Copies of this chain bind each other. A is one copy, B any other.
């Protein structure tokens, strides 16, 4: 038996797909691209693409994010979500996709790249957006649930905001992602009681509209929230 008998057999195409979430117009939104080629030509889908030979999985996801949004990874949160590999999930053959979840502030206008006829933000609410190609409905659902869960015990909510932000901004992130209202004064106490969640900039507030100007904050060093901020 020679070493050549153990020659590697490539049995799949591996891609990364992105669930990129942001908050805009008072709603949680996901980045979608309109497919320029079959299969599912003309249908909306999550952005994604093949993993290149010298790239690791997170690197491929970061590259996709950069290509689609112009956002560089450190300024957005990027984490592995799950992998999907049902034999018939893509009619072209066995494609295994490693999905990543990205959370970012609503800054850049997405750009349609080579494989996409169009690109843009859509509400995650299933009644307010197009149906997705492949098994991307499942992937999106898993991504949104992951985001909702992570807000409870991590400081990721701040990833949806640009600095500096007010505590009301932060609370609105929670309310929009969870779809339920939070008691403002108790929310404030919980956030400030968590060492390193936010730090005051000392800066005063831009008086935008009526009411007392709010104090400004930026992200702290903490990543894990203890105690957590639990969904109602």
Contacts and interface: CB of A to CB of B under 8 A. Distances in A.
Interface of A: 3, 6, 8-14, 37-38, 50-51, 53-57, 80, 82-87, 92-96, 98
A49 to B, nearest CB: 11
A72 to B, nearest CB: 21
B13 A10 contact: yes
Given A12-B14, A13-B12, A51-B85, A96 B6 contact: no
Given A56-B86, A83-B80, A51 B11 contact: yes
A13 B8 contact: yes
Contacts of A9: 13, 50
Assembly stoichiometry (copies) = 2
A92 B82 CA distance: 25
A80 B80 CA distance: 12
A11 B8 contact: no
B83 A51 contact: no
A53 B85 contact: no
